[in-house]
Structure 1
Amino acid sequence: MRKTILSIFLGLSLVGCNDTPQDEHSENKNAELQKDSVKTNDIASLEEQLKKDGYQTFSYKEGDTTYLMQQYYMVFLKSGPTRSQDSTEAAELQKKHMAHLSRLYEEGYTSLTGPMGDDGELRGIVVFNTATQKEADSLANMDPMVKAGRLVVEVHPWWVAKGGKLK
């Protein structure tokens, strides 16, 4: 992400250093072309690096925008078969569960994590940013709540545009 921002900044700075006198319209058009070129080059190099690292990606262009799609893994945390722990044990498992999820986020394995807002079978969702479904499944199953049987995981591939965000 830092490289992308730096590349865009450098690309825009280069446009500002042009000594050739031009009218404002031409200058704006050149800036837009340079910006688009930088973005396209950044997307291509990012896609190349992701593929080299084993990630599933594809890109497509819609109008003037190029989208880089990446396969993430949506993990559904569901109520497990063993939910009979006493309150002390459940609280300790919850503490370990939160530490596990925090570590996964800090190490870059996850992008979004959160509990559900009701008390149904589906307890939470974690979006994994891993190269393979096997890796996401393995990391999710290392959760102390899953090991204790309090939760079970269900993993699904999910395509999202890089840089997409919740609104």
Structure 2
Amino acid sequence: MTSNRKTLSGGALLILIVLFIGLMLVVNVMFRGARVDLTQNNLYTLSSGTKEILAKLDEPINLYLFYSDKGSQNIPQLRTYATRVRELLEEMAARSNGNIHLQVIDPLPFSEDEDRATTYGLQAVPVTAGGETVFLGLAGTNSTNGQSVIPFFQPDKESFLEYDVAKLVHELATPKKP
């Protein structure tokens, strides 16, 4: 009788494990891409205007976030803000139906990436008395050689972050008519 109980409880446990794995697979497929913003100020919820701009994109837009990760290791406020900027850009790229391609670039001093950032018109801001500089800017291009930049994301203007990026995307999506 004890052997019969062990077999039944072992079989029931095995069935529960298989059901749990099957349920997780189904949930993973059904809710892929579902997002919930539980932050206090809805930091990761895009405004309706931004969603409308992203929905109307007809051509691909390339966004290049230049952020000096290594140069900002001793500046926690800037690192936190840079993470916020990157996450907003990733959210916009995810909502653009594949029309926004984001690249995050760490321009090391005296590198081709640093030259590329300055070619776009981004500003390197000095952060130490020794002359070390940090990039935190965005360059965007479209398929018709259009170009737009945000030279430096200023942490004190975080409340305008989504507006500034949406404006840049809108400028690239609607090229000026001749």
TM-score class, shorter-chain normalisation, is under 0.3
Q: TM-score, normalised by structure 2?
A: 0.27
Bigger relative CO (Cα 8 Å, ≥ 6 apart)? 1
By percentage of residues, which structure has more strand? 1
Larger Rg: 2
Q: TM-score, normalised by structure 1?
A: 0.28
